[in-house]
Amino acid sequence: MRIGAMGDVLHAMPAVEALRQRHPGCFIGWAIDPQWSDLLQIAGDIDDLSQIVGRHETRAMVDRWYSVNTGAWKRRPLAWGTLGEINVLRRLLKSERFDVCVDMQGAVKSAVVGRMARAKVFAGLAKPRERIAKWWYKRRVAVTSEHVVEQGCELLGAAVGEELKPAAVRLPINEACELWADEELGKESFCLIAPSAGWGAKVWPAERYGAVAAGLGRGGIRTIVSAPAGGDPAAERVVAAGEGHARVVRCSVGRLIAMTRRAGVVIGGDTGPLHLGAALGRPVVGIYGPTSPLRNGPYGTRSRILRDAESVTSHKRVSETEPGMLRISVEDVVAAAKELLG
- pLDDT tens figures, 162-192: 999 999 999 999 999 999 999 999 988 999 9
Q: Above 80 in pLDDT, residue 51? A: no
Which CATH number is associated with domain 175-341? 3.40.50.2000
User: Is the pLDDT reported for residue 10 higher than 80?
Assistant: yes
Q: pTM of this prediction?
A: 0.92
pLDDT at 76 exceeding the cut of 90: no
Cα distance between residue 58 and residue 69, in whole Å: 30
**Which residues lie closer than 8 Å to 33 by C-beta, 6 or more apart?**
3, 4, 5, 67, 68, 69, 70, 71
| pLDDT beyond 70 at 40 | yes
Please give the CATH architecture assigned to the domain spanning 6-160: 3-Layer(aba) Sandwich (3.40)
SS (H, E, C) the chain: CCCCCHHHHHHHHHHHHHHHHHCCCCCCEEEECHHHHHHCCECCCHHHHHHHHCCCCCCCCECEEEECCHHHHHHCCCCHHHHHHHHHHHHHHHHCCCCEEECCCCCHHHHHHHHHCCCCEEEEECCCCCHHHHHHCCEEECCCCCCHHHHHHHHHHHHHCCCCCCCCCCCCCCHHHHHHHHHHHCCCCEEEEECCCCCHHHCCCHHHHHHHHHHHHCCCCEEEEEEECCCCHHHHHHHHCCCCCEEEEEECHHHHHHHHHCCCEEEECCCHHHHHHHHCCCCEEEEECCCCHHHHCCCCCCEEEEECCCCCCCCCCCCCCCHHHHHCCHHHHHHHHHHHHC
Give me the half-sphere count of Cα atoms (radius 13 Å) on the Cβ side of residue 301: 25
Arithmetic mean of pLDDT, 110-122: 95
Cis ω for the linkage preceding 126 (within 30 of 0): no
Domain residue extents for the chain: 6-160, 175-341
Q: Given this model, what pLDDT does residue 54 score?
A: 35
Give the per-residue pLDDT at 307.
Answer: 98
What is the β-pairing status of strands 246-251 and 303-307?
unpaired
- pLDDT for the residue numbered 58: 59
pLDDT at 38 over 70: yes
The reply to whether 6-160 and 175-341 are identical in fold is yes
At residue 49 the predicted structure's pLDDT band, cuts being 50, 70 and 90, is very low
pLDDT surpassing 80 at residue 3: no
Query: Average pLDDT over the chain, rounded to whole?
Result: 92
Given this model, what pLDDT does residue 304 score? 98
Higher pLDDT, residue 334 or 76: 334
